[in-house]
Structure 1
Amino acid sequence: MKAQNLIQDTQTAAAMMHPLRMRILEQLREPNSAAGLARLLDMPRQQLNYHLRELEKNELVELVEEKRKGNCTERIVRATSRSYMVLLNTAAPVDSDEIGDKFSSTYLLQSAGHMMQDVATMQAGAHKARKKLATFTLETEVRFEDPSALHAFADEVAQTIARLAMKYHQPENAHARPYQFHLFSHPTIKKQDHEKRNESGPRH
């Protein structure tokens, strides 16, 4: 089971977003059978089987094992991921003038979205190849006295990254693996807003 799955197509998103199917995915963080799920969710087995088939068809549920019980075979299934994130690229392109603004939140969101799509594609390939995808993540928090301090910090970071890129970049090496580096910054969300989002937001 993967820790997270990024959903990028409307068919899979539609298959998952049904309220009952989200409850099924929640229960299937641990393997279970259709009969076991029907008891947990207090619903008819036939209705449950229909939703399970749709989830499995869209690779949101996978077969773990089959157990023989008398004349019947019981299928044990589980969710393919512990959490799901939906990212559908339906927005219009951002205006070029706005893209040129490194302090634009719209530009940040578009860049972050492209990064998520690229990483999700490579992660799926690495998962199928049974390999790990080498990535690097750095998080920190800085308190700035005023916007001018933020701008000065951003300029200094940009200069430092440019210097490091020049030092380590090997453009003539055909065997060198290119990496993209993204630096995003946004105000820290207030603690009460973060707790409220976690309480009201869907788990899947």
Structure 2
Amino acid sequence: MAQEQLETYVVESPEQAMALLNPLRAEILSRLMEPASAAEVARGINEIPQRVNYHLKALEKVGLVRRVGSRQVRNLVEVLYLAIARTYVLSEGLNWAGNTVQQMKDQGSLSHLVHTAERIKRDALLLMERSDQQEEIPSATLDTRIQLASAEQRSAFVEEYVQLVNQLVEKYQTAAEGQETYQVVLAVYPKEGGEEG
């Protein structure tokens, strides 16, 4: 079947970097830690298969995903894709000015924030429909503010937050069949008019 998936891949080409900074493509890549078809990925992110297929082809073209097989589903043959790596690092060799790379990352993060907010809204509306039928839908929301003195402090905060969440996930993760899967999202962005308490 496929070549082995890399743990980390250093992104050396601008085309790959631009693909990674597209929030939907980054989301699709994150769903390809195991081989999956466009239809499976589309179901996982509440997108239409045609749109996912378009972005998969673009990711394949720049070498960030590869075809690893196919399978027959009724009268269709589904192509299975796999991300070439689990994590990606932008190479210094891209020769982009540091502020350009940071700006691209920031803009990519903002686009991802909009995409994530839309996905949460879609998911919440579907869950509200289920709750209208007297089905109990357990959920939780955390909304807080923090004052961070610098970009370095913001990065350190996010990094530590991710580590703590990963520890919690490992502690409570279950492999039991039929268990509910929960989505966990963190967004960090400047509060508009944010100098106020």
Q: What TM bracket, shorter-length normalisation?
A: 0.3 to 0.5
Structure with higher Rg: it is 1
Q: When the two structures are superposed, what TM-score results if normalisation uses the length of structure 2?
A: 0.47
Q: When the two structures are superposed, what TM-score results if normalisation uses the length of structure 1?
A: 0.45
